[in-house]
């Protein structure tokens, strides 16, 4: 495949754009990004004329793909021909807001902004202004845009900014907790409940793969916030008008948050963000209340036209049924492929009298998708090859299938990444080694197949293992070189 033009464009871009891109994630493809020339239905064509299936779809906004229906395209063109913008209100803003309020359970009033980041920033400010409190609770590995209040890493006891340029004092007011861990968030409210302004949460964690909520988790967040006088803020920038259809994810899960943030789909491919919620909360924004919020391009007429036409088309046609059916086909196909690969690995291990490869997965990400779960099930339920050894890396052992825990040689309560010092990582959660499985581990040496969900690569690793005395025994794993 010829990609010379993309390479040349990237070289030019490096001279005038920071990192050659205008959003850091676009620099992720290596050795250089693919520069797109045009979209075509469900495909994009790059600067060299190569055609790709577009799995990105603008990172979410393009619900209808690149070829807009005639009604949507006509509405956008008509509004564009009437002038780019005015700095004054238009009827389109009202119509768009009426659509949101009509379909989304939590929305009575709306304030439009220009991005998801701006929406979550404004929602947090509103929650703090309403409650008179400073602290907010967010999820570890969640994402709410490039804002100072949520660019925080760590846990509830030890956390700090995840980016340079953010004062440590900002991070002191943000408490990260594990998604789907009701005990952890309950403990945080027991310790800080009177100081918490809001819980900001994605209904489905989307920044580390797709992590669905366990039964009862969102109900727990709703109860905790209500009992402690805090607000529940759902970030539906990604899930809004995608998961759960016109009612968004909150209709799917039967939870009504106090505030909801939107973006992506509601702009029909144009820059947009919005905050929606109860009237008594929303009217605390200026000019009615004292929480300042404003923006030159907010409610931009072209964006309002594109978004409203897109949403109305989705409402009047079977868009969500069609999209969900495509998703089911894709998930089913991926699960079948992974199950077949797991079956091949098992048969090869038995035929060669080799122990099974290690399967290292971050269960909160991979098992929730159902894909890795199929691989685990195949590897375990088929029986163990002679001398088989399986290691699972997990952030929450309680969420793993019982068969996985009972038949694992080692359960490491930490995410492991190929090529890093496993012993150092495992040492951060030594109790699981000491109290769960370490005492059962024999000394072995061999090859391992590591599935690294952080980079979505599969590496072959030569490992050496030894036993040491530490609270009943500790597994020490030394990594050699890794090869992709």
Question: Which residue, chain included where needed, has tokens 């006509």?
Answer: 74
pLDDT digits (tens, 9 = 90+) for 182-216: 999 999 999 999 999 999 999 999 887 788 999 99
**Per-residue pLDDT band at 344 (split at 50, 70, 90):** low
Residue 406 burial (CB < 10 Å; 0-12/13-18/19+)? exposed
Residues 146-163: pLDDT tens digits? 999 999 998 899 999 999
Structure tokens at 262: 């939107």
Strands (E), 90-212: 109-113, 135-139, 152-154, 159-161, 174-177, 196-201
Asked if residue 266 and residue 156 are part of one domain, the reply reads yes
143 is catalytic: yes
How many Å apart are CA 305 and CA 297, to the nearest integer?
Answer: 14
Angle, CA of 43, 209 and 29, to the nearest 5° = 50
> Tokens 């340029």 appear where?
165
- Judge if 259 and 380 occupy the same domain: no
Between residues 468 and 336, the one the model is more confident about: 336
Model confidence band, residue 228 (pLDDT cutoffs 50, 70, 90): very high
Domain boundary among 288, 317, 346: 317
Instruction: Output phi, psi for 186, to 5 deg.
Output: -65, -40
Q: Write the DSSP symbol of residue 138.
A: E
The band of 355, judged by pLDDT with boundaries at 50, 70 and 90, is very low
pLDDT score for 437: 30
Any idea what the CATH number is for the domain that residue 307 is in?
A: 3.40.640.10
Asked if 54 is an active-site residue, the reply is no
Judge if 332 and 474 occupy the same domain.
yes
Of 69-83, 122-136, 380-394, the one with minimum mean pLDDT is 380-394
pTM of this structure = 0.76
State how far the alpha carbon of 58 is from the alpha carbons of 279, 335, 336, 441, in Å: 32, 25, 28, 48
- What does DSSP say about strands 196-201 and 231-235: parallel, antiparallel, or unpaired? parallel
Encode 214-228: b = buried (16+ Cβ within 10 Å), e = exposed: eeebbebbbebbeeb
Answer yes or no: do 332 and 435 share one domain.
yes
**Are 43 and 154 found together in one domain?**
no
Same domain, 126 and 171: yes
**C-alpha distances in Å from residue 326, one per residue of 221, 311, 320, 333, 392:** 32, 19, 10, 11, 31
Specify whether 455 is located in the same domain as 342: yes
For the chain, percent of residues with pLDDT exceeding 70: 70
- Angle between helix 301-316 and 70-81 (nearest 10): 160
pLDDT band at 264 (very low <50, low <70, confident <90, very high): very high
Q: State the residue range of the domain holding 255.
A: 70-317
Residues 305 and 388 in one domain: no
- 252 and 192 housed in the same domain: yes
Of the residues 264, 299, 317, the one at which a domain ends: 317
**Catalytic hit among 10, 54, 112, 143:** 143
Q: Is the Cβ–Cβ distance between 120 and 144 less than 8 Å?
A: yes
Residue 118 clears pLDDT 50, i.e. is over it:
yes
Active-site annotation holder among 54, 264, 313, 374: 264
* pLDDT at residue 407 greater than cutoff 90: no
218 and 186 within one domain: yes
Q: In 3D, which of 204, 148, 214 has the Cα closest to residue 184? A: 214
The active-site residue out of 46, 54, 181, 235 is 235
SS3 state at 34: coil
Please tell me the distance from the alpha carbon of residue 126 to that of residue 280, in angstroms, as a whole number.
Answer: 11
Quote the Cα angle for 117-119-125, to 5°.
105
235 catalytic per annotation: yes
Same domain, 289 and 272: yes
For the chain, the first-to-last Cα distance in angstroms comes to 21
Q: Quote the strand ranges of 90-146, DSSP E.
A: 109-113, 135-139
Determine how β-strand 135-139 pairs with β-strand 196-201: parallel
How confident is the model over 267-292, as a mean pLDDT?
Answer: 97
Q: How many domains in the chain?
A: 3
Q: Which residue has the higher pLDDT, 417 or 194?
A: 194
Q: Judge if 83 and 44 occupy the same domain.
A: no
Q: How far apart are CA 119 and CA 247, in angstroms?
A: 19
Residue 181 lies in a domain: yes
Q: Is residue 259 part of a domain?
A: yes
Reduced DSSP (H G I as helix, E B as strand, rest coil) percent helix, strand, coil of the chain, to 5: 40, 20, 40
């Amino acid at each position: 495949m010829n990609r010379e033009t993309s390479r040349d464009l990237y070289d030019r871009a490096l001279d005038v754009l920071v990192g050659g891109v205008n959003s850091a994630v676009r620099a992720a493809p290596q050795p250089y990004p693919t520069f797109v020339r045009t979209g075509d239905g469900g495909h994009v064509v790059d600067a060299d004329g190569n055609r790709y299936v577009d799995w990105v779809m603008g990172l979410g906004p393009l619900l209808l793909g690149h070829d807009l229906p005639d009604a949507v395209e006509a509405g956008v063109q008509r509004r564009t021909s009437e002038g780019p913008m005015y700095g004054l209100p238009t009827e389109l803003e009202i119509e768009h807001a009426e659509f949101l309020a009509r379909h989304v359970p939590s929305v009575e009033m709306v304030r439009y902004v220009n991005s998801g980041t701006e929406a979550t920033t404004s929602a947090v400010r509103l929650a703090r202004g309403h409650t008179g409190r400073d602290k907010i609770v967010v999820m570890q590995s969640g994402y709410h845009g490039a804002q100072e209040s949520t660019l925080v890493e760590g846990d509830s006891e030890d956390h700090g900014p995840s980016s340079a340029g953010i004062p440590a004092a900002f991070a002191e007011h943000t408490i990260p907790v594990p998604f789907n861990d009701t005990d952890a968030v309950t403990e945080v409210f027991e310790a800080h409940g009177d100081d918490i302004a809001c819980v900001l949460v994605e209904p489905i964690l989307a920044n580390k793969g797709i992590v669905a909520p366990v039964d009862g988790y969102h109900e727990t967040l709703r109860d905790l916030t209500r009992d402690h006088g805090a607000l529940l803020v759902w970030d539906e920038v990604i899930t809004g008008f995608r998961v759960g259809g016109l009612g968004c994810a909150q209709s799917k899960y039967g939870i009504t948050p106090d505030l909801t943030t939107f973006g992506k789909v509601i702009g029909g491919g144009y820059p947009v963000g919005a905050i929606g919620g109860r009237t008594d909360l929303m009217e605390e924004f200026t000019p009615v209340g004292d929480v300042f919020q404003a923006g030159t391009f907010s409610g931009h007429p072209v964006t309002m036209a594109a978004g409203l036409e897109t949403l109305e088309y989705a409402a009047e046609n079977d868009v969500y049924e069609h999209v969900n059916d495509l998703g089911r086909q894709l998930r089913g196909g991926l699960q079948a492929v992974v199950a077949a690969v797991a079956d091949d690995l098992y048969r090869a291990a038995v035929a060669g009298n080799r122990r099974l490869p290690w399967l290292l997965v971050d269960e909160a990400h991979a098992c929730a998708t159902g894909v890795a779960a199929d691989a685990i099930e195949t590897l375990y339920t088929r029986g163990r090859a002679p001398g088989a050894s399986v290691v699972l890396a997990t952030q929450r052992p309680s969420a793993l299938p019982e068969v996985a825990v009972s038949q694992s040689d080692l359960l490491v309560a930490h995410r492991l990444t190929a090529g890093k010092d496993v012993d150092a990582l495992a040492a951060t959660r030594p109790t699981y080694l000491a109290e769960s499985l370490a005492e059962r581990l024999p000394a072995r040496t061999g090859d391992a197949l590591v599935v690294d969900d952080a980079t979505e690569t599969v590496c072959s690793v030569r490992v050496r293992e030894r036993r040491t005395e530490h609270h009943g025994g500790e597994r020490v794993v030394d990594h050699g070189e890794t090869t992709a």
